[in-house]
A and B are shown apart, each in its own frame.
Chain A
Amino acid sequence: MSDPANLPDRDPASTQTPPPPPAGSTPGGAAAGNTPAQLAEASPQDPQASLMRRITTGNGLVSVLAIVLSLLVGAILIAATDERVTSAASYFFSRPTDMLSAIWASVSEAYGALFRSAFFNTQADGFANAIYPLTETLTVATPLILAGLGVALAFRVGLFNIGGQGQIILGAMLAGWVGFTLNLPAGLHLLLAVVAGIIGGAIWGGIAGVLKAKRGAHEVIVTIMLNYIAVYLLLYVLTTPGFQRPGSNNPISPEIHESAAYPLIFGSGFRLHLGFIVALLAVAFVWWLLNRSTTGFELRAVGANPQAARTAGINVSRAYITAMVIAGALAGLAGTAQISGTERSLSGDIAASFGFDAITVALLGRSNPIGTMFAGLLFGALRAGGVGMQSNTGIPIDIVLVVQSFIVLFIAAPPLVRSIFRIHTGQKKSRKSTARTAKAGGAA
């Protein structure tokens, strides 16, 4: 379980980022305009919620720029910790080009290795070996996309689903149990395992949804706690006879039967399994659900303005429950991809950190199913590529984590990205100040 908030002690930001823009300090907020558009926007909605909305559903350009910036920060870290660069820096003023070329060499080697291990290995012999990295990327991306969709869907309904981790674990637990306990014909067994995974995740997500809808319990607190419960529940059941591998003292389950495993798409030489196709289908399903279905209309309305939704006769409580059940089900599918796809047996590490990375993926994908898919693919590539980068160049895979974390940071601070790239339109500026007018208006 890795914690995205746990950044390394090094402080690359100080070398790079200018002071934050004076958002909130410009006097614009005091009396920003009253043009119709702005009046309309200055609705007395909870300013906190609207900030949240802007972060989770903001524009794609900021996402792309955040990636670029984060890779830049990564490059600085790589260069700063490279021995050749450090030694060239000692005589920088006599021969500056030495240092520059050392920087170039270290960064291009690292990112080159990252690319080769994530997409296409130009140095491999044979086409199959050359595309092996790409299949790895897709394999790693599978649970990321699925769990990311769960987080994204909840975002759209105004819920911050931190519980991906727990939902993945529950999904994997149930799917795993079906996989290694039951004996069923091939297709049916897999189907049952997948359904069990969906149910496990749906229950875990649904608990948070029900508590939110019926008792007003904040979903962030509830899902975090459910994560802990899931983690320790898993560790516990792995010591019970029903789950522990016979004859083993380690907390690990038996392997699932072959009949409950996702078929490998490219044969035994590659890890890529049918779960990836399931993930793509899930993307299509969520897209349809949000954009074309009546349920999605309800969910989006509740996410955008629960009060108006309620006045229009939409059952807000039910929308919260529905959203969390579906979000949990998607995370449960991610758990299935782990147990029936790559891992094949249940251990304490079955969910890795996918549940948390999913939050980043959903943020980067702007809570949009297609965006989430691409974000999942990118993170899959970073993860798969990071492994290759570490083994080829010795640069620790942690750099990848740093890059991922910076992406979140930049996305959470769109004004920062805008000021770095000087994207300033009058429109945006006035919009920002209107948000503050709304705040002041609400306070009055």
Chain B
Amino acid sequence: MKLELRGITKKFGTFTANDDITVVVESGQVHSLLGENGAGKSTLMNVLFGLYEATAGQVLIDDSPVQFHGPGDAMAAGIGMVHQHFMLVPVFTVAENVALGDEVTRAAGILDLEATRRKIREISDRFGFHVDPDALVEDLPVGVQQRVEIIKALVREAKVLILDEPTAVLTPQETDELLNIIRQLRDAGTSVVFISHKLREVKEISDVITVIRRGKVVGHAEPTASAAELASLMVGRSVSLSLEKEPATPGEETFSIQNLTVLADNGQVLLDDVSFGIHNGEILAVAGVQGNGQTELTEAIMGLLDHASGKVVLHGENLLGRSVKSIINSGVGFVPEDRSTDGLVGTFTVAENLVLNQYDRAPFARGMNMRGSVIAENAEQKIGEFDIRTQGPQADAGTLSGGNQQKVVMARELSRPLKLFIASQPTRGVDVGSIEFLHRRIIAERDGGTPVLIVSTELDEVVELADRIAVLYKGQLVGIVPGDTPRDTLGLMMAGASADEAGAIDIDPVPPTDTSTGTPVANPEEEHGNE
């Protein structure tokens, strides 16, 4: 089936989200739409799905114009979509979810789940999905949930499958699996529209690449194009993809955690006896598949968790057990993993968010009175310095794009003298242009002599920033390896192999001279990696 979007224009008031976009998806082809966040990719797909009415332009299937009035029409015409946020009912089984909206019924309207189960098994076997139709969706890992979404589309006999930022929620391994699945689908004759801003994946999977910038098609590229070419096409200026950074000049070790253990409310061990130290002017990046204790690590340091034991030492003082406020005030900058729930108050203005944890300190407050003019000046200055794209300091932070929201959080945390900087997923959901900027700021903080702890599930980011890499697996420290350790090795360690097994050198996380923080990880015979 050939799908064509011809001259699609979509305006919201005076804002043009899509400007005369033409995309032709041939049968059995993987067609990537590459563009930054907010470039108009998703608007285009919503037009295709009849969720928005196009201001101008046409959708054609096999060269005949069609008109969709909603997702139902599009699905009936053979177009399936997997959204970035899955549309699944967590307490339903896979089969129930797949049946939902397209239920097969027997006489008297009795649900025939067996038919759905059969179809799921069939598809699952054909493409090697390994999905159990009777598993509860909430029990499944994210990667498998995504496959359920794909099955949903395939059961409805989709000839064109649209994947909207499908890898944003996946681990590197899951990403590879997904790309394999896409290849199989393509070989079976399904067309795939792959929407992404991640160059590596787009290059790997695409037959055709269409680059969209500010609502316009700015060019087509071959998958053989270099990442730098694609990036500059996407951003509209040349972007340096590999960061030039000076080698670290580590100073004294002023921050360390010792035997940090974190329990969940139900007693489950989330972080198991983790110890390491970070030197002044050094970046330690924590790698690991999401959900292996990284979130707990940062939150425990910030005093956000109740059941934490061990020690978190900064300049000789134990932070564990102190209030979040006193930890912040002792000079710890923290960029939380999820900016919209933890980092920002969406209904507060940019100016207010820029002082979210400084509002009661000089110069922003005098006694109980907040000083609006000082806060506004601060906002103006930060907006300029961090190039935050906003309508102004009084705009609600929630109206900013993801990258700009992240800049707000970064600007707030990096704008005071720090003794420790922690950033969790510092560039998640951020476009290429902003990533470069944010990385530079992090390195600048390091070069200023601050110990920096980065947590990221993006290996690219870990490799790019880290002076040393610590790998977490199931809440345990698998090992600490040099920053230039190959990705494959890291991948193995992220799956639980010890540094030895993975063929890397487990460097002593703490210099031997420092006796205060002797850790079991330094010992190659330690049992952590063997779990």
A residues touching B (Cβ–Cβ < 8 Å)?
27-28, 30-37, 39-45, 53, 292-295, 297-298, 300-301, 304-305, 307-315, 426-427, 430, 437, 440-441, 443-444
Contact, CB under 8 Å: A304 / B348: yes
Contacts of B43 in A (CB 8 A): 33-35
Does B405 make an interface contact (CB < 8 A)?
yes
Contact, CB under 8 Å: B42 / A33: yes
Does B421 make an interface contact (CB < 8 A)?
no
Contact, CB under 8 Å: A297 / B352: yes
Known: A30-B71, A34-B41, A40-B400. A311 touches B346 (CB 8 A): no
Contacts of B81 in A (CB 8 A): 31
- Most chain A CB within a 10 A radius of its CB, from B38, B327, B341, B345: B345
Does B315 make an interface contact (CB < 8 A)?
no
Contact of A313 among B88, B328, B348, B365 (CB under 8 A): B328
Number of interface residues of B (CB under 8 A): 68
> Given the complex of chains A and B, what is the CA–CA distance between A426 and B13 in angstroms?
8
Closest B residue to A40 using CB positions = B398
> Given the complex of chains A and B, what is the CA–CA distance between A301 and B352 in angstroms?
10
> Given the complex of chains A and B, what is the CA–CA distance between A307 and B346 in angstroms?
12
Contacts of B340 in A (CB 8 A): 40, 43-45
Contact of B348 among A300, A307, A444 (CB under 8 A): A300
Closest A residue to B334 using CB positions = A311
Contact of A40 among B70, B360, B402 (CB under 8 A): B402
> Given the complex of chains A and B, what is the CA–CA distance between A53 and B346 in angstroms?
12
Q: Bits for B384-425, please: 1 = Cβ < 8 Å to A, else 0.
A: 000000000000011111101100000000000000000000
Contact, CB under 8 Å: B345 / A293: no
Contacts of A28 in B (CB 8 A): 51
Contact of B401 among A32, A33, A40, A293 (CB under 8 A): A40
Contact, CB under 8 Å: A37 / B347: no
> Given the complex of chains A and B, what is the CA–CA distance between A293 and B429 in angstroms?
34
Closest B residue to A34 using CB positions = B42
11 pairs, CB–CB < 8 Å, chain A vs chain B: A34-B37, A34-B164, A40-B402, A42-B85, A294-B370, A297-B359, A311-B304, A311-B324, A313-B357, A427-B12, A430-B12
Closest B residue to A44 using CB positions = B341
Contacts of A427 in B (CB 8 A): 12-13
Contact, CB under 8 Å: A444 / B145: yes
Shortest Cβ distance from residue B143 to the other chain A in the assembled complex, whole angstroms: 13
> Given the complex of chains A and B, what is the CA–CA distance between A291 and B369 in angstroms?
10
Contact, CB under 8 Å: A31 / B345: no
Contacts of B49 in A (CB 8 A): 30-31
> Given the complex of chains A and B, what is the CA–CA distance between A10 and B49 in angstroms?
45
Contact, CB under 8 Å: A43 / B38: no
Contact of A307 among B72, B342, B429 (CB under 8 A): B342
Contact of B85 among A35, A305, A308, A441 (CB under 8 A): A441
Closest A residue to B360 using CB positions = A294
Contacts of B51 in A (CB 8 A): 27-28, 30-33
Contact, CB under 8 Å: B83 / A31: yes
Interface members, chain B 69-92 (any A CB < 8 Å): 70-72, 81, 83-90
> Given the complex of chains A and B, what is the CA–CA distance between A301 and B343 in angstroms?
12
Contact, CB under 8 Å: A294 / B359: yes
Q: Bits for B140-154, please: 1 = Cβ < 8 Å to A, else 0.
A: 000001000000000
Contact, CB under 8 Å: A35 / B38: yes
Contact of B365 among A34, A294, A310, A312 (CB under 8 A): A294
> Given the complex of chains A and B, what is the CA–CA distance between A35 and B18 in angstroms?
11
Q: Bits for B27-50, please: 1 = Cβ < 8 Å to A, else 0.
A: 000000000011011110110011
Contact of A31 among B45, B90, B302, B357 (CB under 8 A): B45
- Most chain A CB within a 10 A radius of its CB, from B37, B70, B324: B324
Q: Bits for B356-376, please: 1 = Cβ < 8 Å to A, else 0.
A: 110110000100111010000
Contact, CB under 8 Å: B345 / A308: yes
> Given the complex of chains A and B, what is the CA–CA distance between A145 and B360 in angstroms?
30
> Given the complex of chains A and B, what is the CA–CA distance between A32 and B12 in angstroms?
14
Contacts of A44 in B (CB 8 A): 338, 340-341
10 further A-B pairs in the complex, CB-CB below 8 A; given A27-B71, A32-B46, A33-B42: A37-B398, A40-B397, A40-B400, A40-B401, A40-B402, A308-B345, A313-B324, A314-B325, A427-B12, A444-B86
Contacts of B324 in A (CB 8 A): 310-313
Contact, CB under 8 Å: B405 / A40: yes
Does B52 make an interface contact (CB < 8 A)?
yes
Contacts of A426 in B (CB 8 A): 12-13
Does B529 make an interface contact (CB < 8 A)?
no
Contact of A301 among B46, B327, B345, B372 (CB under 8 A): B345
Contacts of A39 in B (CB 8 A): 37-38, 401-402, 429
Contacts of B372 in A (CB 8 A): 292
> Given the complex of chains A and B, what is the CA–CA distance between A325 and B145 in angstroms?
46
Closest B residue to A313 using CB positions = B325
Closest A residue to B375 using CB positions = A297
Contact, CB under 8 Å: A437 / B85: yes
Does B192 make an interface contact (CB < 8 A)?
no
Contacts of A37 in B (CB 8 A): 398-401
Contact, CB under 8 Å: A311 / B302: yes
Known: A34-B164, A36-B400. A308 touches B370 (CB 8 A): no
Does B433 make an interface contact (CB < 8 A)?
no
Interface members, chain B 310-355 (any A CB < 8 Å): 323-325, 327-329, 334, 336, 338, 340-348, 352
> Given the complex of chains A and B, what is the CA–CA distance between A28 and B86 in angstroms?
15
Shortest Cβ distance from residue B141 to the other chain A in the assembled complex, whole angstroms: 13
Contact, CB under 8 Å: A312 / B356: yes
Known: A40-B398, A313-B323, A314-B325. A31 touches B71 (CB 8 A): yes
> Given the complex of chains A and B, what is the CA–CA distance between A295 and B49 in angstroms?
47
Does B455 make an interface contact (CB < 8 A)?
no
Does B463 make an interface contact (CB < 8 A)?
no
Q: Closest 9 A-B residue pairs measured CB to CB?
A: A36-B401, A34-B42, A441-B85, A444-B86, A43-B340, A313-B325, A312-B357, A36-B38, A27-B70
Contact, CB under 8 Å: A315 / B325: yes
Q: Bits for B290-305, please: 1 = Cβ < 8 Å to A, else 0.
A: 0000000000001010
Shortest Cβ distance from residue A84 to the other chain B in the assembled complex, whole angstroms: 50
Does B262 make an interface contact (CB < 8 A)?
no
Closest A residue to B405 using CB positions = A40
Contact of B341 among A298, A305, A312 (CB under 8 A): A305
Does B17 make an interface contact (CB < 8 A)?
yes
Contacts of B341 in A (CB 8 A): 43-45, 305, 307-308
Shortest Cβ distance from residue B29 to the other chain A in the assembled complex, whole angstroms: 22
Contact, CB under 8 Å: A440 / B302: no
Closest A residue to B429 using CB positions = A39
Contacts of B402 in A (CB 8 A): 36, 39-40
Known: A27-B70, A43-B340, A44-B340. A34 touches B357 (CB 8 A): no
Shortest Cβ distance from residue B429 to the other chain A in the assembled complex, whole angstroms: 8
Contacts of A309 in B (CB 8 A): 345
Closest B residue to A39 using CB positions = B402
Contacts of B38 in A (CB 8 A): 34-36, 39
Closest B residue to A301 using CB positions = B345
> Given the complex of chains A and B, what is the CA–CA distance between A41 and B402 in angstroms?
10
Contact, CB under 8 Å: B42 / A35: yes
Known: A31-B46, A294-B365, A311-B304. A304 touches B145 (CB 8 A): no
Contacts of A315 in B (CB 8 A): 323, 325
- Most chain B CB within a 10 A radius of its CB, from A28, A37, A444: A444
Shortest Cβ distance from residue A290 to the other chain B in the assembled complex, whole angstroms: 11
> Given the complex of chains A and B, what is the CA–CA distance between A305 and B397 in angstroms?
12
Shortest Cβ distance from residue A415 to the other chain B in the assembled complex, whole angstroms: 18
Known: A294-B360, A312-B356, A443-B90. A305 touches B323 (CB 8 A): no
Contact, CB under 8 Å: B304 / A305: no
> Given the complex of chains A and B, what is the CA–CA distance between A309 and B346 in angstroms?
11
Contacts of B325 in A (CB 8 A): 313-315
Contact, CB under 8 Å: A440 / B85: yes
Closest A residue to B162 using CB positions = A31
Shortest Cβ distance from residue B88 to the other chain A in the assembled complex, whole angstroms: 5
Shortest Cβ distance from residue B45 to the other chain A in the assembled complex, whole angstroms: 7
Closest A residue to B11 using CB positions = A426
Known: A40-B400, A292-B369. A444 touches B88 (CB 8 A): yes
